[in-house]
Amino acid sequence: MRNKGKWIQRMMFSYLPLFFIMISILVFIFFLSVNNIAEQENKRANEQFALQSLQLLDNEMYALNQRFLDEIYFSPETQLFFNAFYAEDISLNYALIQKLQSFVRSTSLVDSVYLYRATDGNVLSDAVMIEAQLYPDIAFVEQGEPEVAWSGYRMFQDFADTNSRAVVSSKKPYPLTGAARGTLVLNINLGALQQRFAEIGRVDLSFAYVQDAEGRWLLGNLTPQAAESLSPDVALPSGITGWTLYSGLNEHYLFGTLQLISRIWIVAGLAIILVGFAWLIYLIRRSYRPVEALASQIESYSLRKSMELRGNYDEFKFIEQALHGLLEEAQTHHLQLAESMTYKEKYLFDELLEGSPSLTAEELASILAGKGFDPASQGWRFLLVEMDHFRSFEAEYSRQDQLLLKFALTSVLKELADQHGLPLWAEWVADNQVAALIGMEADEEGRERQERETLQTFYEACLRWVQAHLSFTVTIAEGARAERIEEVYLSYDSARDIIRFKPTIGSNQWLDATRVKRMTGVGYYQLFPEVHALTESFRTGKASWREGLAAIGDSIREHQLSRKDIVHLFEYLLHKLSSELQDIAEAKGQYWSERESATMQEAIDTFDTVEELVQTTSGVLGEVFARMLEWREQHGNAALIAQAEAYIAQHYGDDALSLNGISDVFGMHPTSFSRAFKQATGEKFVDYVTRIRIEQAKRALTASDTSIQEIGQSVGYVHAVSFNRAFKKAVGLTPGDYRRQARE
């Protein structure tokens, strides 16, 4: 027994120290390597997160700036606003305010927009027109030209009695070249931008915040106080905004990760050593079994009992726990990489739309190959698929059902494209629009006709399937072919240009450049005379306004105006009707109110085709017209005023024609006659006579070579000065300028 113990002790003291040292070294190296790998993966994921966050922020600010230029800066209303000739044009100011309000309402990021006109020192914002010295933010305009496109942190106040708001601003002189006539300012609400930025990434993994060029806090996914105690790993300057994005791994996350690995190392290391010890002891004891057979029954029993007790020891539980923790962390890294790849693909798609791919040729080819495109493709097209009657679709379905139907649409596009041998990559670019990239084969002889037939078959199959299986229809606009992937944004631009003509061409069909008739030199403003004639007929109670409205619809279809031009034209019609009828006291609350204006504005915002818009407008105006005629018949002297209008048509050339004179002719007191005349015609007597005289003068100026003074005398103006003043006030031009312009 004593020899047995000494032998076992020698065996143990020989092997156990060496075993302990080797196992300890191996465990330490293993977990140190795991720790380094985890830290490197976290840093790489954070760098990718920071780059994507900056790109998303730059894209957001760049897109807002481009929309501001397209919709406000280069709009016809802005051009006229900075023209001193239209400085007193109230209707222009009203239309421009409406346009600014529409732009501000279109996105939650825009705080406000205002224009400063240097010629008369006035400021026009989306809420008011005011003199510059009374506008609280005029000091920002007078600071001079900015060095960067976007300002840093600043406080903005649009009224003296309102609270200041934190904004960043883009200030642009007008025009961009030459002598400045004013300034346009776009203010972005920092609170809304902060809310948008806070949704990026996971704050428990990474932090990110943005400072302006002067180091002032702008926004981030954590508070400025929390950022003071953090050390960012990445600092990325923006070439678009001039700001800097700082990002790093959350220290609490890093500490938690290291602490987890440290606990795993300790527990797993101890478990491995204990298991090794137990196994080594087991082997030593098992090698002693030949000697054990010669021992006594008591010694044998004691040894077996000891072996049973040792066999119940479970050291592998610690290893299982360690491996489980490592697998969970590996899965977390895998999900982060997958999410990063999704963002990368979406960002690449947006860059292709904008024509500025930032990836290398190898990275671009890899992603396109992953989407099923042949690297040898030598032709590319963008399709723009737009849902018809989208407002009705939104009202009919819940948000979840809308997402399901949209998913079905993109899925069927991909499936039908695969059936026709067309690789397709589709992404939603707006609530009602899907952009789809298609790769084509090399442009060889005979391929063009085959490609055209394949595309047409694919379009028709999509239209039929959607109409048969979904509760809506779509219109497909085909972009021009691009030979290089870097030029495919031109195809997307052409598709967007084509889809704008859907209201005049029709929905539930496919459109390409051959179906769009380009009418050069034709703008919506050239239909303003038809709008003026319609409003005049409507206001004076003539049923010919219906023919005028139908003629406007015919002109729109004939000239194939884009949706944007149609909206501008009908908003101008609504503005003219509102201003004309609201000037009539008896119209307020009787037959024209905010309800009619809202109904027409909703039709303008939601129409799909010109026929729908004309039909809705005709219905609204028909109800108003019926109420107007009924009111005037009940409260006016319709027959008497009709005779008065005939009398004016015969005697407008008489310079003695006056309110007192015509009142005597019809045996009424001038005050009573004036009131009855306005109720019946919607105009004051003096304004009515002036309008008749100016209309006759315009006809004479364009149809004859008679001198201006003689024409003025023929329409009741004895003095040429009076005629010139009245004509310019009504038309905006002197008689001579009007004649020259009409004959050009």
Mean pLDDT of 82-95: 86
422-442 burial, b at 16+ Cβ within 10 Å, e below that, comes to bbbbbeebeebbbbbbbbbee
Mean pLDDT of 714-725: 88
CA angle, corner 293, sides to 288 and 294, nearest 5? Answer: 105
Q: Which residues lie closer than 8 Å to 407 by C-beta, 6 or more apart?
A: none
Sequence ranges of the domains in the chain: 359-515, 524-599+608-615, 638-743
What lies within 8 Å, CB to CB, of 596 at 6+ separation is: 620, 623, 624
Strands 165-174 vs 154-156: parallel, antiparallel or unpaired? antiparallel
How far is C-alpha 726 from the geometric centre of its chain's CA atoms?
Answer: 46
pLDDT at res. 634: 63
CA separation for the pair 148, 189 (Å, rounded): 18
**Is residue 517's pLDDT more than 90?**
no
pLDDT the model gives residue 585:
43
Segment 92-145, tens digit of pLDDT: 888 899 999 899 998 888 999 999 998 888 999 888 888 888 889 888 888 877
Q: Has residue 185 got a pLDDT over 90?
A: yes
What tokens does 471 get? 């509760």
Angle 199-201-207 (CA atoms, 0-180°, nearest 5)? 100
Amino acid 376: pLDDT: 65
Task: Report the range out of 15-29, 51-65, 313-327 with the highest average pLDDT.
Answer: 51-65
Listed residue (245, 174, 187) closest to 213, CA to CA: 245
- Better-predicted residue by pLDDT, 227 or 683: 683
232 in Cβ contact with 247 (< 8 Å): yes
Assign domain 359-515 to its CATH superfamily: Reverse transcriptase/Diguanylate cyclase domain (3.30.70.270)
Q: Do 519 and 559 meet the contact criterion of CB atoms below 8 Å apart?
A: yes
pLDDT tens digits, one per residue of 491-500? 888 888 888 8
285 token code pair: 């004891």
| pLDDT, average across residues 37-63 | 80
Residue 350: half-sphere exposure toward Cβ, Cα within 13 Å: 17
Percent of the chain with pLDDT over 90: 7
Distance CA 619, CA 600 (A): 10
Beta strand ranges found along 351-485 (DSSP E): 379-387, 424-430, 433-440, 474-478
CB atoms within 10 A of CB 88: 9
Using CA of residue 422, residue 426, residue 432, residue 433, what is the dihedral sign? negative
Report the 10 Å Cβ neighbour count for 680.
22
- Count Cα atoms within 13 angstroms, Cβ side, for 182: 23
User: Nearest Cα to 535, choosing from 545, 526, 527?
Assistant: 545
The strand pairing partners of 187, in sequence order, are 112, 169
If you average pLDDT over residues 187-197, what whole number do you get?
87
pLDDT digits (tens, 9 = 90+) for 275-325: 777 777 777 666 656 555 544 444 444 444 444 444 443 433 444 554 555
Cα angle for residues 512, 76, 110 (degrees, 5° grid): 90
**DSSP-based helix, strand, coil % in the chain, nearest 5:** 65, 10, 25
Partners of residue 173 on adjacent β-strands: 183
Q: Calculate the average pLDDT of the chain.
A: 79
| C-alpha dist (Å) from residue 665 to 289, 418, 662, 679, 714 | 144, 83, 5, 19, 22
SS3 661: helix
Write the DSSP symbol of residue 320: H
Q: Percentage of residues in the chain with pLDDT exceeding 70?
A: 79
pLDDT of residue 235: 86
C-alpha distances in angstroms, 186 versus 59, 80, 149, 156, 386? Answer: 16, 19, 11, 11, 30
Q: Catalogue the long-range contacts made by 352-360 (C-beta closer than 8 Å, 24 or more residues apart).
A: 352/437, 352/485, 352/488, 352/489, 352/492, 353/382, 353/429, 353/435, 353/489, 353/492, 354/489, 355/486, 355/487, 355/488, 355/489, 355/490, 357/485, 357/486
What gap in Å lies between CA 29 and CA 269, rounded to an integer?
A: 11
Each residue of 592-643: pLDDT tens digit?
777 888 888 888 888 888 888 889 889 888 888 888 777 766 665 666 777 7
pLDDT at 582 over 70: no
Mean pLDDT lowest for which of 55-64, 464-473, 662-671?
Answer: 662-671
- Whole-number pLDDT of residue 327: 60
Q: Looking at residue 186, what is its pLDDT?
A: 93
Of residues 562 and 253, more confidence is placed in: 562
Kindly tell me if the per-residue pLDDT of 730 is higher than 90.
Answer: no
Q: Would you say 35 and 193 are in contact if contact means Cβ atoms under 8 Å apart? A: no
pLDDT confidence of 360, banded at 50, 70, 90? confident
**Under DSSP, is residue 501 helix (H, G, I), strand (E, B) or coil?**
coil
* The pair of three-digit structure tokens given for residue 411, joined into one six-digit string: 């899925």
- Whether the pLDDT of residue 348 is over 80: the answer is no
CATH class of 638-743: mainly alpha
Tokens linked to 642: 């009709």
